[in-house]
Amino acid sequence: MVFGILAGFSFMGTLEPVAPSLFWGFGMSFCLLRLLILRLDLFLPHHSRNTPEEAFTHELPERVSDAVILIGFGFAAESNHWLGLSTALAAIFSAYVRSIGMQRGANRRSVAIGPMTRSHRLILVSAASLLMMLGLPPVELDTSLPQIALWVILFGCITTILMRWFNIRDWKEE
């Protein structure tokens, strides 16, 4: 969660006129560190999160981190804060649909599908940050690169929500 918060505030720092590329680099680095931690977490033994308290204490930091990264990216230079907020809400809702599926007894593989999972969002935000840090693309676009990344994430999250929803809506508990 700390890396997510640092990434979000780093993206907000890109509005500073002194060294915006430095803040793009910090944001990208914190996103990649968050991704690394998520990958390492898969190798740790976990007990099942059967109680609502255990599920809550696991999910809350994840959702806070997701939201701060995407909202911060929305407040970054050449971005759009409303688009960042919309994207954060879509990301949280996709996790909510996954949680509903898990509670209904669906297996993790069937409810964690979609083109815009947390890892995909982190990679896309990191790639866009790298391009902004390097001053790319050199051609003028009608829409800025951070906004394009947020639109891709938003539509990807909506697609992920629909895929997960249709995958679990007819799931029968055994």
In the chain, what are the domains? 2-168 (1.20.120.1760)
Rounded CA gap, 8 and 24, in Å?
Answer: 10
pLDDT at 174: 45
Per-residue model confidence as pLDDT tens digits over 39-62: 888 787 765 555 667 667 778 889
Q: pTM of the full predicted structure?
A: 0.90
Rounded CA gap, 159 and 165, in Å?
Answer: 10
- Token pair for 97: 């649909």
Per-residue model confidence as pLDDT tens digits over 12-23: 999 988 889 999
Q: Where do we find the tokens 């790319």?
A: 136
What are the distances in angstroms from CA 105 to CA 59, 111, 171, 174? 17, 10, 8, 8
Q: What is the DSSP letter of 13?
A: G
Per-residue model confidence as pLDDT tens digits over 129-174: 999 999 887 677 788 999 999 999 999 999 999 999 888 876 655 4
